[in-house]
Amino acid sequence: MAITLGKDCTISFDGSTITSARNVTLTESARTIDVNRFGSRYAATYSTGYECSVSVELNDSEDLASLFTAMHTGSTFQVSGGAGSFLFTAVMTGISETDSIDGVATFTIEGKMTDPKLTRD
């Protein structure tokens, strides 16, 4: 049994690492469709590909100004690391803020894998 420390994950935006990243959740999942043959009640599942997503918790609100702009303009960020050797470019899909009454504010950015060859106008 091996123990993996999560400190080997890096989130980079515009070429610079987001140092206030506290927790990162990396997910890879299959995209599937259900298929039924005509006249049969048997349902089969067919894989159509896969997708990767990332959720990053931040402590420092200083990182948010550029991240809000990035989400509104469709900018991407890079994800690398983890025991599964994740490496992908993600488009930002959401930003949220949690304000604990007795603790510090936590900011979360969400992203999904995109093709870096896709460009915005």
The reported pTM is 0.75
Second-level CATH architecture of 6-113: Beta Barrel (2.40)
51 with 91: CB under 8 angstroms? no
45 with 30: CB under 8 angstroms? no
Q: Using one digit for the tens of pLDDT, what is the confidence trace for 54-72?
A: 998 888 878 777 788 878 8
pLDDT value at 1 more than 50? no
**Domain extents in the chain:** 6-113
Q: Using one digit for the tens of pLDDT, what is the confidence trace for 16-27?
A: 778 778 888 888
Query: Please, what is the average pLDDT of the chain?
Result: 83
3-state secondary structure of 83: coil
pLDDT value at 95 more than 70? yes
Q: What pLDDT does 69 receive?
A: 80
> Taking residues 90-96, what's their average pLDDT?
89
Band (pLDDT 50/70/90 cuts) for residue 120 is low
CA pair distance 26, 54, nearest whole angstrom: 5
Q: What pLDDT does 34 receive?
A: 93
60 with 97: CB under 8 angstroms? no
